[in-house]
Chain A
Amino acid sequence: MTPPPLPDSLFALTLVLLLLAPLAIAGVALINTGLGRSRSAAQSLLGSLAILAVSVLVFGIVGAAFTGNLPGAAGGAGRTFLLAGKPWNWLGAAPFLLGGLASALPQAQLALLFQFLSVALLGLIPWGSGADRVRMTAGCAIAAVLAAFLFPLTAHWIWTGGWLAQLGVNFGLGAGFADGGGAATVHLLGGLSALAVIWIAGPRRGKFPREGLATAMPGHNAVYVVFGCLLALVGWLAWNVAGAVLWLHGTPASLALTAVNTLLSASAAVVATFAVTRIRFGKPDASLCANGWLAGLVASSACAGIVSPGEAIFVGLIAGIGTPLLVEVLELALSIDDPSGAITVHAAGGLWGLIAAGLFAPQAGQLVAQLVGIATLLGLVFPLTYGLFALLNRFLPFRADSDGERIGMDLHELGGGAYPEFVIHRDESYR
């Protein structure tokens, strides 16, 4: 299915938006750093930069070929098999090393740029969850696996004419799986990757003592976290509007609504989290409110181009109420040590946004299309991700040795701290 050609003005607008979208990456990197410990801050931020670079390189050399945006796979071609008389397009087949990029349609080039940014953001999500214990080389290797294989596979299925995008044409399920802003390809995949990394690397030392409740390990810099949220807003607005143009084929009239819905969803989410944490703890919690804000943005990634403003507020409210509750369940009941809250924010937020897009879409069958897409990511891509990461961990252990955790990842991996004038003190939470 060939998308309609973009008018020049819309092309220019989308390009400008995509040049603003990296602010979302900067925001997430700052949030990850602020939610980690002070003795791992430089490693966290340098790791984010390294992961961004590795993701982009690996995607450009290998991954883009399997995503299939460029000539060779244009118009949804690629590797297809027939099952029950229907074509199942399962893998893109573009040239390696971005061959044909210069001669590709401008719209295909924009789509490729969108995917480059998506793969860079994706790599940062498991990195935040592995904060304070995962080595930088392991973080880069995880990002490389995501960029070379897992992201291209899902991005092709959902964005570039793959079988999930064709659910509408082949099975009459609405407009096919809808994911304008990367709620599935970036956030759900990233959140599930984060869960796999946490399971493999294990919790931070002292997080879950033999007796008693989990130890609280608050983030070291609330200013980074909240400023990261504000930066992320700019990037997210650009991301969702550009995604609505490229993947939902939105008209100019619908683009401002997409941006308004993004803003409403995030605002409703942070207000809801503020209220829940105030009721629950007596005072609002900065890091949980930041997670709520981000969960609202993530949920809007799926549905901002589809829902009405009232529905966007509802989506944000549910995301904001659910975030602090799920963070608590994961930590206290399920022994999952997720410093950045990626599973709650990205996996659960993305999941809710994708369901909401199906619930509120005008087309019949859209909800079933969304559920099939979710079933694919959860039932097929997650076990595959865990298997690949477990294999990778055999050759390149994710976790730093206990000395690294004790002195901090900055000194261990970089030989110097982010705040050299601070005295490193013994952590009382170690038992």
Chain B
Amino acid sequence: MKYAGLLVMPAGFFLAIAALLLFPAPGLRAAFVVCGLAVEAMGLAVAVRGHMEARGEHQA
């Protein structure tokens, strides 16, 4: 699960890059960059959760 989260994070980065290339309008561009960051935050949250679950199994 930790690795799944870490693999999701680059998708957010590519979304931010796509925003630069596809949207010249400042509003849309900013919105898509924020969406990219949100995807990265979700990936990080999944990775943190995976870390906690792995620790729980290790302790049990």
Q: Which residues of A come within 8 Å of B, CB atoms?
A: 83-84, 86, 167, 171, 199, 202-203, 208, 210, 334-336, 364-365, 367-368, 371-372, 374-376, 378-380, 382-383, 386-387
Contact = CB atoms under 8 A, between A and B. Distances in A.
Given A199-B51, A376-B13, A368 B29 contact: yes
A375 B36 CA distance: 7
Contacts of B43: 379
Given A334-B51, A335-B52, A378-B37, 17 more contacts: A86-B21, A199-B2, A334-B52, A335-B51, A335-B55, A364-B26, A368-B29, A371-B37, A372-B16, A372-B20, A375-B16, A375-B40, A379-B10, A379-B14, A380-B9, A382-B6, A383-B10
A374 B13 CA distance: 9
B30 A367 contact: yes
Secondary structure at the B interface, as helix, strand, loop or mixed, is helix
Interface of B: 2, 6-7, 9-14, 16-17, 20-21, 26, 29-30, 33-34, 36-37, 39-40, 43-44, 48, 51-52, 55, 59-60
Contact of B16 (A334, A376, A382, A387): A376
A371 B33 contact: yes
Nearest to B20: A171
B6 A386 contact: yes
A374 B52 contact: no
Given A375-B12, A378-B9, A379-B10, A208 B59 contact: yes
Contacts of A210: 59-60
Contact of A375 (B7, B33, B48, B55): B33
A367 B31 CA distance: 12
A374 B37 contact: yes
Contact of B26 (A365, A374, A380, A382): A365
Nearest to A171: B20
9 contacts: A83-B21, A199-B2, A371-B34, A372-B17, A372-B20, A375-B36, A375-B40, A379-B43, A383-B10
Contacts of A374: 37
Contacts of A383: 6-7, 9-10
B17 to A, nearest CB: 8
A121 B55 CA distance: 30
A371 B48 contact: no
Nearest to B37: A375
B52 A379 contact: no
B43 to A, nearest CB: 8
A208 B51 CA distance: 14
A379 B16 contact: yes
Given A375-B12, A375-B13, A84 B26 contact: no
B35 to A, nearest CB: 10
- Complex A-B, nearest 4 residue pairs according to Cβ-Cβ distance, in ascending order: A379-B13, A375-B16, A379-B40, A379-B12
B33 to A, nearest CB: 5
A387 B5 CA distance: 13
A367 B33 CA distance: 11
A382 B9 contact: yes
A82 to B, nearest CB: 12
Nearest to B34: A371
B33 A368 contact: yes
Nearest to A381: B13
B13 A208 contact: no
Nearest to B56: A335
Contacts of A167: 20
A332 to B, nearest CB: 12
Give the interface centre of A167, A208, A375, A376 by most chain B CB atoms within 10 Å. Answer: A375
Contact of A84 (B21, B37, B40): B21
Contact of A378 (B33, B34, B44): B44
Contacts of A375: 12-13, 16, 33, 36-37, 40
